[in-house]
Structures are given as C-alpha cells and as structure tokens.
Amino acid sequence: MDLVASVNHLLNFVAPAFFLALGLAICARWFKQNKAGAQSFIVQVAINFIIGAAVLVAGLWLFSRDGKMLSYAALAGTSACCQWVLSRAWR
C-alpha cells in the first residue's frame, strides 16, 4: 500500500469520530441558549475528536477489525458523555 492509500485509510477510519465531534459541538451551541460553556467551539470539537478516535482505536485493538457496531456504539456513548461534561449540562 502506498502513502496515498494509507492516508486515505487513516482518514476514513477517523472520519466518524470527526463528524460526530463536529455535530455534537454544533448541536450543543444550538440547544444550550445563552448558558456559559466551559470551552470554545474548536476546543469542544478537538476534545471530542481525540476521545472518539481513541475509542475507535480501542475497538480496533479489541476486535482486531474496524467497523464493529459495538465500537460505533461506544463512540456515540463516550462522545455524548464528553459533550455533556464539556457543556456543563449538570448545572
């Protein structure tokens, strides 16, 4: 596999984590309506992306293959919990 194919595979592997992080940060801005958040938009996306990518890597390591539904369920659950903490929704 050449460099272009390797980069393509890597980007396709982390794409669900990135787009979920972006969507969560956008929806948090849209729904929270004048509550003081802890971090800026970019920081929320970055933290959610890092945690989401780590969950996908853990799923790849645990199941020895990519694309298991349990990995995606764990991605959605951990990203939602992380966004809840970042938005300070318990207040």
Q: What is the pLDDT of residue 68?
A: 87
Looking at residue 39, what is its pLDDT?
75
Q: How far apart are CA 40 and CA 87, in angstroms?
A: 10
Distance CA 65, CA 76 (A): 18
Reported pTM:
0.87
33-83 pLDDT, tens digit each:
556 566 788 999 999 999 999 999 999 999 988 888 999 999 999 999 999
> Residue 40: what pLDDT?
84
State how far the Cα of 82 lies from the Cα of 32, in Å rounded to an integer: 15
